[in-house]
Amino acid sequence: MLCENLTPTRRAVLGASGALFAWAFMPSFVKAAGARDPRFITIILRGALDGLTAVPPVGDPDYAGLRQSIAMRMDGDNPALPLDGFFALHPSMPNFQRLFQAKQAAVIHASCTPYRDRSHFDGQDVLESGFAAPGHVDSGWLNRLIEKLPAGDKIAPGSAERTRGLAVGANAPLVIRGQAPVLGWSPSVLRQADPDLAPRLADLYGQTDPMLAHLLQEGIETGKIASGLDVKAKGGPGDPSGMEQMARGAARLLAQEDGPRVAALAFEGWDTHAQEVERLSKLLGGLDNAFAAFQQELGPAWKDTVVLVATEFGRTARINGTEGTDHGTGTTAFLAGGAVRGGRVITDWPGLKENQLQDKRDLAATTDLRSVIKGIAVDLLGADAGPLAGAVFPGSEKVAPMKGLIV
């Protein structure tokens, strides 16, 4: 099966380039949900994660037969990690298992957006825009959520700028693009500049353009906080070390007292049509290290944090002829953070018999991902459920916020 080229569009590049310079004009974040000072991080896995490999249902009697040579097992040289007796975890994710055992992580299995076709472009549009159908790429649900959060005591009355958002990566993910201003940051892939370059530019613009000089200084300070003075780029969003570095830099910014509180990242390369075992071992290891980086760098803020990991759709229940899987439907979402009511695999498990599969080929989706996001927005961020069904996820009035996700 041929896959669409996932090269970022010019719209995405322009959106990201404008994000950085909005940082100086944003107010402090509202302290929602009482005295809690929450952080909400969304990680998009582009390419469609195989949830049956990431969180294998080893207790389902039909699992091993469907998966054949790529089935995860509880014994052997590289056994899956136990979760709850029915579900296990890919062996590349020991950090997530540790968080799960500490009740700071949960799995949402057999989940999906409303999208039921198999185009990466359209699936990602639906996942990130928050609309029920593709074609809406002017703003993302996370940005619109920022706009709809209740104003706090540090926000001027009537202000539409509700909170600070952070877009991580060379191109701002669609999910956080929109009217609400966000900070843009990405690990540098360029050779480190001479030490005197920044002071020289600051002096030049200080004499000719004070506003640009101020924005330049903001950018310099952001880079220092996020990357550290001795950290160089080690890879992109499809490389395990790049994933960890993006997470670590984002967490350093989110941990600041006056920093952003909502962030979006995108990790690439999850389209596993061939050699899935080898590829997912590498990618899931990078994601797992990103979880650990967030916990480490957020420090005390971790207790009020939720990290959501989502992908555009799942993959076929049966393997193909190249030791991989093709585009499917139901998949797995991950939740991690000190604010998560964890230690659970949350699912209405549909089963893996042929008559239980979507179109007799895919894991059927029984949980709408929008209900998960709504539940987090209400119980972590203090959002009003009304705007979530209108402005944030248009047309989702029948999708109720999932309860009990937050401690």
* φ/ψ of residue 353, rounded to 5: -70, 155
Give the Å distances, CA to CA, from 258 to 63, 76, 252, 376, 392: 48, 49, 12, 22, 26
Contacts of 280 (CB under 8 A, 6+ apart): 50, 53, 54, 90, 92, 272
Q: Among the ranges 85-89, 161-165, 179-183, 200-204, which has the highest mean pLDDT value?
A: 85-89
Q: Show me where the domains of the chain are located.
A: 29-184+262-392
Mean pLDDT of 180-196: 71
Condensed to tens digits (0 to 9), the pLDDT of residues 4-23 reads 433 344 334 334 433 333 33
Condensed to tens digits (0 to 9), the pLDDT of residues 258-270 reads 889 999 999 999 9
Condensed to tens digits (0 to 9), the pLDDT of residues 305-347 reads 999 999 999 999 999 999 999 999 999 999 999 999 999 999 9
Q: Return the percentage of the chain with pLDDT > 90, whole number.
A: 72
Condensed to tens digits (0 to 9), the pLDDT of residues 166-181 reads 999 989 999 999 999 8
Helix 94-101 × helix 276-298 angle, to 10°: 50
pTM for the model stands at 0.83
